Structure 1
Amino acid sequence: MGAGASAQGGKLAEGTNDIEAFKKSLEEAWAYNDGEQQQDIVNMLKAAQKFVGEKRRELSVGKIDYPPANEKLEELWKLCDYNGNGFSSLAELDKMIVENFPEYDNKPAVMRAYQCIDRNNNGFISKREFRDFFGYLDYFTKLWDKFESIDDDNDRRISYEEMKRHSKEIFGRELSEESATILFHSLDRNNGGKILFYEWVAYQAALDRKDFTIDKLPFE
């Protein structure tokens, strides 16, 4: 965290188990700093959340590779289908992610991964469908992370100005006004004036030649 990242010597309160004291320390640090340093606080808390998730995961199922080995899949499925009915709802899946995989805890990616594996569209997933979940989740999380890095004002939409400003990052080159306008309209599928995550996924999936049905995914 930067040198000016809190109200007390650039650090948050240390050596305390008191939740209220910690929250007060965060409040003081947040009020003391500007937007860039506030983002440092957010990044630190995300790193702490990820650390806790990794430690929990080590205690439960250990390192997960994709595709998961059968024994790992069984352990993961038990975390997900904790009521043992043989199916998992989105809420159960989300709980498993929040508690064990916080680095993947973003609802747009989780929702899309879930809907890709719910092949019979009944609102629940089976263990067989679950096998493919982490592959989709990793893919959509990477798309969401890129989308979020371009969305400078954090409104979950990409404006023309944001797209043009990040054009080298997205397309590998700076764009002229004419090229930027053409590309923006090609991504803005509903002509709403902003690129939604749904539209961003459609664009990237076409480039990556993914075989899931875009129109099945939620529109936002």
Structure 2
Amino acid sequence: MSEVKLVATTRTEFGKGAARRLRRAHQVPAVLYGHGSDPLHVALPGHETMLAVKQANALFAIELDGKTTLAITKDVQRDVVKNTIEHVDLLIVTKGEKVSVDVPVTIVGESAPGTIHVVETQTLSLEAEATHLPTEVQVSIEGLAGGSSVSAGDIELPKGSVLLTDPEMTVVSVSVPHASAEDVAAEEAAAELAASQSAASAAAAESEG
């Protein structure tokens, strides 16, 4: 995984007013913590940070006062109305260190014709090396028949990862869709209407003849 480099500045003002001023200046309040060090309150460049957190389990290289610190995202607070980033919590990591992360599930392939699939679990919890975190877990449903399912323990994990999620947990299920009572009634009504219209047309043709 390539590092996302962000140049940070130290924050000396705190509180909602200070945070609003930072965001107006297109910066994002953040805190760096971990490994027994005191939390570092910093400001990150807004646009670059917004793009970076879109990447699942991105590895950050935070440059602060001439020193580079590796970190991963632990929490991103957003304004649900504006969809802007309010605050970012970053966990300091080191090369070779193992951490637990949630990794998004990506479905690949197509199940058997006439079936549908439902993703029951959107993410899997894995333990992986902090500087080589997986960005996705691919789950193949190619050719699976109705009634089939894929459990967490059935999935081939990214190299170096260890499954933390219950291996019996269903990740995706495949089924054959059944028509609802309303759909059946609508189809029957349509068939009856078509039959009556056909009969009427036949009677009209006989009368004209």
Pair in the same fold by TM > 0.5: no
TM-score bin, normalised by smaller chain? under 0.3
Larger radius of gyration: 2
Relative to its length, the structure with more strand (as a share) is 2
Which protein has the bigger helix share? 1
TM-score by length of 2: 0.26
